[in-house]
Structure 1
Amino acid sequence: MSLTPKQAFNKLPQRLHNFFIKYPPRPFAQYAEKPTNIQDPNMNPFLPNKNLDSGRWQEAKYSLRRASDLFKMAYKFGIQDLLPPLPQKRFFEDKYENKKWMKGVLKQKQQVWERKLPEKLQARKEALENMDQTIIAARPRYKKQLQKKEQRKNTWF
């Protein structure tokens, strides 16, 4: 049993129903994506519009809170694309998928010793590898001791 469009429209919540009566869905009417003047037939009810007579800006017919309530109701019924363009479209999954994380959340600052530890360990490793050359530079006689040590080294063959 499929619903006719009129029956489906009547099943919408009252606030959404009244909104679509006052501002028809997108296929029947096109709405401006940027602020326009108040005489424009394509005036968006979610955006502020300019009064050309007085030169003053008129507030949006629907506040951001009321617009988000309408969007959330329409989202439940899968008809959020029929609403006029919203100035702030960050809802639900989009809000969390495209979140800009703070630096401190992505990478903790750490203590100074924690930040310098990898460099310190690398320098220590290189110093241990070059230990013999460092000692030879300080005490040239150490070279003979290394040669004797190399000769005394036991091998299995």
Structure 2
Amino acid sequence: MATTQPTTSLVNKLPARLRNFFARYPPQVYSAAVAPRPEAPETATVTTNPEELPSPYTPNRDAKGFKRPDPKEFSPSRALLYSDPKHPNPFLPRKNFRTGKWSGPRFGLRTQAELVNLAVKYNVEALLPPGRKSTEYKDTRRNERGLAIKGTGIGQKVKGHKWERTMEARLEDRRKAMMEMPEMIRLWKQRGHGRGWKSWPKR
């Protein structure tokens, strides 16, 4: 009896819209917490650490720019959108395997956004089914696609200006020159401060 009282009080604090939704779609069957999380295949390399990402600029001048991702490749955001065939997700479209036709979700995107905002307000978002308006999906999708600037997403590249593409090589040459500077100064002093030089010593 002691364990049911807090649960009952929590349910009574929720608005009627959420209570009706959870009564129709129980969280123990439809929520994102019970949905399986498929793991990325071994061939897929998903990098989320910005320090490990390569330069967004293509090194060659013949690059065509950003290529559209393959829809068949593993995507962390698509992996979150799970629907059980026995208990279809009301936030996702479903396919009728007898007729081969698709039917839309029971709740539109605007209704999903309203339910998610209510659930976030009452800290019960994890009890909702996974959908495109959930906070976790939006964060994962934003990391995948990057900002509104082309080339900021994971694995994206842009051609960029020439000075941007050659910046890494120039910085490396500058670093090597600074490392060899003490030796060059020693030679400069040893040879009479440039008297009689026809050219600068080669590095």
Tell me, what secondary structure is at the counterpart of 1:18?
Answer: helix
Tell me, what secondary structure is at the counterpart of 1:137?
Answer: coil
Give the match for residue 47 of structure 1.
92
Work out which of the residue numbers 72, 82, 88 in structure 2 matches 1:34. 82
Distance 1:60 1:104, change over 3 A: closer
Report deviation, 1:44.
Answer: 0.8
Quick check: 1:82 aligned with 2:127? yes
Give the match for residue 58 of structure 1.
103
Deviations 1:114-156 (A, max 9, x none): x6x9778x68x78x836557542339xxxxxxxxxxxxxxxxx
Provide TM-score, normalisation by structure 2.
0.43
Aligned residue pairs: how many? 129
> For residues 93 and 150 of structure 2, what CA distance do their matches in structure 1 show?
35
Quick check: 1:67 aligned with 2:112? yes
Tell me, what secondary structure is at the counterpart of 1:57?
Answer: strand
Give the match for residue 23 of structure 2.
21
Percent identity over the alignment is 29
Decide which structure has the larger Cα Rg and report it.
1
**Structure 2 residue identity aligned to 1:8:** L
More helix by share: 1
Provide TM-score, normalisation by structure 1.
0.53
Give the match for residue 6 of structure 1.
8
Query: Given that residues 112 and 133 in structure 2 are in contact (C-alpha distance below 8 angstroms), is that contact kept between their aligned partners in structure 1?
Result: no
Tell me, what secondary structure is at the counterpart of 1:20?
Answer: helix
Highest relative contact order (Cα 8 Å, sep 6+), 1 or 2?
2
Deviations 1:25-81 (A, max 9, x none): 22xx246653455xx3x1111111111332101111122332232122112212112
Query: Given that residues 46 and 63 in structure 1 are in contact (C-alpha distance below 8 angstroms), is that contact kept between their aligned partners in structure 2?
Result: yes
Distance 1:77 1:90, change over 3 A: closer
Unaligned runs of 5+ residues in structure 2 are 36-80, 153-159
Distance 1:83 1:54, change over 3 A: same
> For residues 50 and 63 of structure 1, what CA distance do their matches in structure 2 show?
16
Quick check: 1:138 aligned with 2:138? no
